[in-house]
Structure 1
Amino acid sequence: MSLPAKAKNVCEVTDPTGTPLNVRDSPNGRVINALRNGREVYIIEIAYDRKNRPWAKVGGYYQGEYRIWGWVSREFISCYDR
């Protein structure tokens, strides 16, 4: 697994409902975790479900360790230049 060192784009969870964003094991799959608004994430991959909705495979740092969390709806991730 390669770690995103000094990524050009930083992204964060921005779910307008204010509730934690569900993390899934595959695009639109089973919920395995949740991420809070403001959590910094790195997009590893983009895929589309059967309804052609975009999903992002995300990872990030937690307690100093890089982890791959899983798939989230791309709609609720905002990215900006660092």
Structure 2
Amino acid sequence: MAWAAPALAGDRCKVTDPTGTPLNIRDQKMNIIGAIENGRNVYVQRYGEDANGKPWAYVATAGGKRLGWVYREFISCY
């Protein structure tokens, strides 16, 4: 993956995976390391894209626990 600049402060988002399943959380090598339920709030720490140009976001919990990379199209930020 090609990683981009840090997110702006306050990039608060909600998981909105249209498949109805938990959203996969991945490490930098794209291995699935967990999942997060729809409706949960996450905070974007930085954005990036993979070799195919697909958008990704590195997210953390409200408490600052780093979770990993999620597909950017499956979170809604406000």
Shorter-chain-normalised TM-score: which range?
A: 0.7 to 0.9
- Would you say 1:33 and 2:31 are equivalent positions? no
Task: Find 1:14's aligned residue among 2, 13, 16.
Answer: 16
| Structure with greater Cα Rg | 1
Counterpart contact for 2:10–2:43, Cα < 8 Å: no
Alignment partner, residue 24 of structure 1: 26
TM-score (norm 2): 0.82
Tell me the amino acid that sits aligned with residue 28 of structure 2. Answer: S
Identity, in percent, stands at 51
Deviations, residues 4-49 of structure 1 (Å, cap 9, x unaligned): xxx644211000111000000026x000000000110000010110
Tell me the amino acid that sits aligned with residue 76 of structure 2. Answer: S
Alignment partner, residue 76 of structure 1: 74
Alignment partner, residue 3 of structure 1: none
Paired positions, count: 70
Structure 1: unaligned runs, 5 residues or longer: 1-6
